[in-house]
Structure 1
Amino acid sequence: MLDLELIREKTDEVRNALLKKIDNVDFTKLIEFDDERRKLIREIEVLKNKKNKVSKEISQIKSQGGNVDEACFKQMKEVSNQIAELEEKLLPIKEKIETFLEALPNMPDPDVLPGGKENNKVVRVHGEKPQFDFTPKDHVELAKKLNLIDYERGTRLSGNGFWIYKGNGAMLEWALLNYFIEQHTKDGYEFILPPHILNYECGRTAGQFPKFKDEVFKVGEGKDNDNMQFILPTAETALVNLHRGEILKENELPKKYFAYTPCYRVEAGSYRASERGMIRGHQFNKVEMFQYTKPEDSDAALEELINKAEKLMQGLGLHYRLSKLAAKDCSASMAKTYDIEVWIPSMNEYKEVSSVSNARDYQARRGMIRFRREETKKIEYVNTLNGSGLATSRLMPAILEQMQDKDGHIVVPEVLRKWIGKDRI
């Protein structure tokens, strides 16, 4: 959520920043609502001061043994009624302001380019595209031939966009997760296994609700926001809520977490013909990194998360690139995002396997996540950052295709061999 005071003080600056991300920005109504809010608050404060003054006068009269006339009590009652009426008028104004602010995306950082995917910039490329002296197979053919994935039975059990890991396929998937967990634990991140079913406020704090409320799998009968529950689309939605409503100590920051969960995505819209197999699905596994930091430390934290995700990719020996996203390709909650994209030979394109982002204080404002400065005792909002470390559903196709040999076997990345127990599948 954006800072209302910032919008009032630097209206044009905020508008121009948001126009990099969305097509239309008009703060007229918001300013009108806030002017009305301020007017009502001033009137309430005047009446409260008047009430306090009369209350003190009554106390003084009583303490001196005097009698308080009926007019004083009548005046007190009238003032109290006026305060109650104004506070009743104030509530819907506050709700209108909240609704307006909730709908606004985060401001992109100044160095983020405007526009969509066409303005994404490749920052660096790791390794070379694999070259084959034979006709390579695609990941679907390899997975079926080696009995790693059962697509047909996955569809039979759950519908399109689902699959079943089998035998060495399941071992390879679990080895990837073990590899990620081992590396993050070594780096001092705390391992979290959160609930998969979350409440509405979790989605709101993450910045996914209310706009994307209908793009998650809902659970149970709750139709209103207070009772709604949904299956998490990413562990970020849980991790960003760990300290919701809390005031942390400055010496507690940064807080560094990682979590393993399946991710459940509605993925509305039709699938491209090339997005076969595991490239796009309704359920996939992911290890998510997350940090809570002081504002001045979040840029360094973003670099740390990027480097960690890249280190995992390099350990697997995969060819990939790092791209900095343009404003419209960043999610609504994020000020800056970098994607790690792995090369899928059969598709002749790169596909995202990690998205690393800085939300600045946008999510913290929505979830009232703050910290107290030790020296000044001032309370400020934390910054929140997240990064996939990593998602597996596109890593598996990349490993199968990039690591295949002429016999149709798969060379197991060295870092995974201790969990699979073999160097070739």
Structure 2
Amino acid sequence: MNFSLSPELLSLQEKVREFIKTEIIPMENDPRQDAHGPHESLKHELIEKAKKIGLLTPHGPKEYGCLALSHVEKAIVFEEAGYSTLGPIALNVHAPDEGNIHLLSEVASPEQKERWLKPLVEGKIRSCFAMTEPAPGAGADPSMLNTTAVLDGNDYVINGTKWFITGAVGASFAIIMAKMEDGSATMFLSDMDVLGIKVVRQMEALDSCFTGGHAVVEFNQLRVPKENVLGAVGKGFRYAQVRLAPARLTHCMRWLGQARRANDIAVEYARNRQAFGQVLGTHEGVGFMLADNDMDLQTARLHIWHTAWLLDQGEKGNFESSRAKTICAEAQWRVVDRCVQILGGQGVTGETIVMRIFKDLRAFRIYDGPSEVHRWSMARKILNLKK
């Protein structure tokens, strides 16, 4: 693996970095945000800014005027986007839309792409991915899927309840995972504003970085035409891996930017704050934390780049993405936790953005698979208990 970046990629990195610094960071205190994320009007304003300079949906397909970034290229661009809490929304590389764009690009029919993928890439609409369910349904174990789909004439009838569905409020369409009568799983595409879908409530959450927040969604006799099956019937679990392995990694990329931002703020504070007769950073307790931050940031970055490189070689990367997700989620959490400690009172108040990053980042150790589940999955593969 060659760790050098091409002149073109370095230029793109600098372009995104400058855009985030001059256009997006100044908007982080915009009042059009609440506990459930940035409001739609703010989202559209941010997207227009990225669109003007050719940075909108850079990972999207070339046929829609996007850059079709490779996984390694995404690692560079998404980290820079993540440097601001609003950056991923501005570039349209936030979850769940980023993962859904990847999945639809790989699996959707031409008609489905025109109907749902094109406006999603253009930033005109949002989407959600409905898989997780309340107990005893699917959570970290997708095989426990309880939502059902039964063929009735030319339609599938879907019934079930999903929760922790990111972005459901305000989404234009959903990708729904449901269990078939033979026990397999299938993905379905459905507009959200149809009879049979009900957003029950928004859930209170630690994080506040996703437009639409997280919600409970009920499907009651939802009818989905056969032509809205995503891919092939019975291949839902396979397609979930098409989506989830790269999506785990792009989470790592964006959060690396957040952790780097927090560390930069902590470094600047430690460089200038006087305490006990000397600069704060010269106290070993603080200096050692900054050194540990540097090691954790670089460790996370190397795991991201390596896994991205494997995906670009055509590898599935399931094992490596589990490893990277676990390492990155925990390393980046340690970085931000240390930054809070270094900043003291400024770390636990809204005087800096570090408090918000701290709250948002904690959830990363849970979503897209808790660390414990990834360790369990890795152990089984190491022991050859599961291929």
Query: When the two structures are superposed, what TM-score results if normalisation uses the length of structure 2?
Result: 0.24
- Structure with bigger RCO (C-alpha 8 Å, 6+ apart): 1
More helix by share: 2
Which structure: larger Rg?
Answer: 1
